[in-house]
Amino acid sequence: MKRITVLGSTGSIGTNTLDVLGRHTDRFTVFALTAAKQVDLLFKQCVAFKPQWAVMTDIAAAQELKDRLQAAGLTTQVASGASALVDVAQDEAVDVVMGAIVGAAGLPPCLAAAAAGKQLLLANKEALVVGGDLFMATVQEGGGALLPIDSEHSAIFQSLPDDRSSWARRVDKIILTASGGPFRTRDPATFQDITPEQAVAHPNWVMGQKISVDSATMMNKALEVIEAHYLFGLPPERLEVVIHPQSIVHSMVQYHDTSIVAQLGTADMRVPIAYGLSYPERVTSGATPLNFETLSQLTFERPDPARFPGLQLAWAALKGRPGSTAVLNAANEIAVDAFLTGRIRFDQIHVVNAETLGANWSGQTDTLEALLALDVDARQLAGAVVARLS
Ligand code: NAD
Ligand code: MG
């Protein structure tokens, strides 16, 4: 039996994770579930999975959950605040941690899990984009495993040989696929009229709001290029993006002899989640298999830089000074929030990101504290750009 903590259990990845766990109760027990403030759903999850701990970052929400659990006669203990997230991620009773919080808020608990040598399943790409080299060094020192849950990175990981030390030598390039999101064919001249409702309506995947907006701007792919750089150790010029609107080929590895190895499947996050949970074994995921007889076509196209200007910020940040990827992430979190709350237009998300990345910031990247301070500074810079635009 492996004991698991699911950070962000009430989100899209979190609920998919519990769906897979529910299929394999002979292999896993849940140690802790965490959420920001969704009391109803976390309560239901506690009833179903009976974790030892439930953590809510919101104090009032935690109190409400505690009262409801007590009234229902459940023994799950409740904690609140950001430090409780770290506690349940590094607790010695835990074997596996699913990092499914959205944004840089997930960095401290993910880093704690890595330092404690847990098997860390990472959906929370922002944590790695902010943590960068420190994150990867912490995984190494902790001695645990880091398994990507992002579908593209799971696909790449599945397409690479087991011998990690051979990757840089054997691989020519990594090709990340991207769906192109909801605005792949919309006239860019009308991008300023895009509403939050239109931006979060992804054609292929049902996901949280933030990643849905990121998919619409293709900043999601920019974050994923950065994520791929840190996970697989390839330089930025050997990372490519191709648009593949059907989301069947989840990403590819091209070797020096030009052979391409890819992973395919239906668009269902339970597949990479099941892979991460069972690695190196394979267990059922609940996903529907691909049916080649009904697959009409697989198409590929080059991303248009004029339509998706944010994509190239990935390479700009990777080639920039240390801390650039953390600054870009912070700017984007501020920009997406400003867009979702009606303060800036869709097309201004890129303005906030590009201006913040290009601003005169400085900071260290060698400790968690330094990175969090840089994150705060970058949010302030981005906030100033938002204030000017709105
Ligand atoms: P979501 O918004 O649906 O869920 C986020 C979860 O984190 C919720 O449980 C929420 O309560 C919690 N949370 C939010 N803010 C928090 C904070 N400040 N502190 C603590 N907890 C907080 O998001 P999602 O779509 O499940 O995405 C989660 C992560 O996985 C993101 O980093 C996203 O990029 C990545 N990801 C998601 C998908 C997908 O299909 N949804 C695919 C690949 C990668
Ligand atoms: Mg992805």
pLDDT in tens, 254-289: 999 999 999 999 999 999 999 999 999 999 999 999
Ligand whose nearest atom lies closest to the CA of 208: 1
Positive or negative: CA dihedral 383, 197, 123, 228: negative
Q: What pairs with residue 261 in β-bridges?
A: 253
Half-sphere exposure of 247 (CA within 13 A, CB side): 18
Ramachandran assignment for 267, one of left (phi > 0), alpha (psi -120 to 50 degrees), beta (any other): beta
Alpha-carbon span 168 to 34, nearest angstrom:
37
Report pLDDT for 2: 98
CA of 314 to the centre of ligand 1 (A): 21
| Mean per-residue pLDDT over the chain, rounded | 97
Report pLDDT for 89: 99
pLDDT digits (tens, 9 = 90+) for 126-171: 999 999 999 999 999 999 999 999 999 999 999 999 999 999 899 9
Please indicate whether residue 105, judged by its CB atom, sits closer than 6 Å to ligand 1.
yes
Fold for the domain defined by 2-149: Rossmann fold (3.40.50)
Reported pTM: 0.98
Mean pLDDT of 170-198: 97
Please indicate whether residue 8, judged by its CB atom, sits closer than 6 Å to ligand 1.
yes
Question: Is residue 294's pLDDT more than 90?
Answer: no
CA of 177 to the centre of ligand 2 (A): 9
Please indicate whether residue 54, judged by its CB atom, sits closer than 6 Å to ligand 1.
no
For ligand 1, atom 36: residue with the closest CA: 123
Residue 145's closest CA among 277, 272, 13? 277
Please indicate whether residue 322, judged by its CB atom, sits closer than 6 Å to ligand 1.
no
Question: Is residue 84's pLDDT more than 90?
Answer: yes
pLDDT digits (tens, 9 = 90+) for 69-78: 999 999 999 9
Alpha-carbon span 107 to 128, nearest angstrom:
7
Confidence bin at 203 (pLDDT 50/70/90): confident
Question: Is residue 8's pLDDT more than 90?
Answer: yes
Alpha helices for the chain (secondary structure H): 12-22, 39-49, 59-71, 82-90, 107-115, 125-142, 151-159, 167-170, 196-200, 209-217, 219-232, 270-278, 313-319, 324-340, 348-357, 368-389
Report pLDDT for 36: 98
Mean pLDDT of 40-46: 98
Confidence bin at 35 (pLDDT 50/70/90): very high
pLDDT digits (tens, 9 = 90+) for 217-258: 999 999 999 999 999 999 999 999 999 999 999 999 999 999
For ligand 1, atom 4: residue with the closest CA: 11
Closest ligand 1 atom to Cα of 101 = 7
Positive or negative: CA dihedral 62, 63, 66, 68: negative
For ligand 1, atom 43: residue with the closest CA: 150
Question: Is residue 296's pLDDT more than 90?
Answer: no
Q: What is the dihedral of CA 122, 126, 129, 134, to 10 degrees?
A: -60
Q: What is the side-by-side strand order in the sheet with 53-56?
A: 77-80, 53-56, 28-35, 2-7, 96-99, 119-122, 145-148
The whole-angstrom distance between residue 16's C-alpha and the CA centroid of its chain comes to 14
Confidence bin at 318 (pLDDT 50/70/90): very high
Confidence bin at 37 (pLDDT 50/70/90): very high
Contact 383, 251 (CB under 8 A): no
Ramachandran assignment for 180, one of left (phi > 0), alpha (psi -120 to 50 degrees), beta (any other): left
Reading the block at residue 189, the tokens are: 């001249």
CA–CA distance from 348 to each of 107, 224, 303, 332, 336 (Å)?
27, 21, 19, 11, 10
